[in-house]
Structure 1
Amino acid sequence: MVEKKSSRRRWPEGYDPAGTRRQLVDSALRLFEERGFDRTSLQQIVEDAELTKGAFYHHFQSKEDLLWQIQDEYLESQLKDARKIVESDAAPVEQIRALIFLSLEGVAKHRPHVAIFQQERRNLTGERLEDVTRKRDEVDALFNETITRAVDAGDLRDDISPRLITFGILGMCAWAFQWFNPRGTMKIKDVADQFSAMILDGLIVDSRN
């Protein structure tokens, strides 16, 4: 298991560890998205956060550790909500719609996290890479499982590959960070509804036939 914090230190009265960590994460999110992981130095992160390297090393072991924790924060949130959807009493097709909305809502609310996840996870190594890969695969598996249940229930065509549909859904949703504008006229629910229609209308079994 990857350790998330380095050894503890004593800090003067009034020090806000959670606030300091948030400042560092916010600075890294902004800089990694703007410049990329490789072109962002640790010094630039602490200067942007108006903090010191000592404060940084209280919370993170290295720049890679910070990158991992940013990705872990996003994946844990997505996993928690995806499990709730899959464990709900909703029909499998409705769960698929909810999972599509969840993925796109993540893009709308956490665009820097998604952009960094898509573009920078290649910079992770060892246990950190294994951890992110495992959690990403678990999200994929929840989609695949739900689509398979919809096929088995007779709600979706039985000549489709649940794995292929999973790849298609995840790819469409993930790439939305490149073009979706949260301040634009189209809301994320509208995008989710149209994505669901594009994906499911050709797959749902018409019970009238």
Structure 2
Amino acid sequence: MSIDREQFAAGVRWWQTKTSWPNDFHNSTYKVLAVQNPGGDFRDDWWAGFLRRLTAWKALRPLSQADVTRLLNENRDDLARTWHEACAPVQDMDITGVTWAQVQAFTAVVARLKPVKSESPVIPSKFCHFLLPRIFPVFDNAAVGGTCTYEAYFNVIKHAWETTPSALQAELIADLSRLIEGHGGGPPHENFPMATKITELALIGRRHP
């Protein structure tokens, strides 16, 4: 189902009034993430800072940092291999130019870092979002609600954006850009995930009208 302006506006209101999330919609964070992107070289010095961010975004629970670090070490070679096979070829694109089949191999390895029976999308979405935010949408249960696999969520975001009329897409991009600049964040960074962020806000608006 495509998104609409009313849903987007409701999602923005919820973000601004019901959370402590930044009013630049993480624009400043995306600037930092672009600089810190390891390009598939998942070394210990990179992991220390990345682990803190995953913890701050509540991606690890109920595992400890030590648990996830052990699992990272066990899967480090597979992470690097699947990054170069699946992610590197599409890293300059956004979700509209990428299919789940192209990137699924990397997300499957990331999911090993927090093995759960429910196939929770939380850690794969946040881990992958921090690396390629324009491709990987971030899943937050409090915002969007429900249970699903990350594949299902990826495809919901992709389909909702792609079925939204292009004229409305352009209007919503302009609206979100003004909101970002209005809160001192400057213009949206080139790494800012316009398509996924707008759709995420609209899905929030559906749940919190």
Greater radius of gyration (CA): 1
TM-score with structure 1 setting the length: 0.29
TM-score norm. by structure 2 comes to: 0.29
Structure number with higher helix proportion = 1
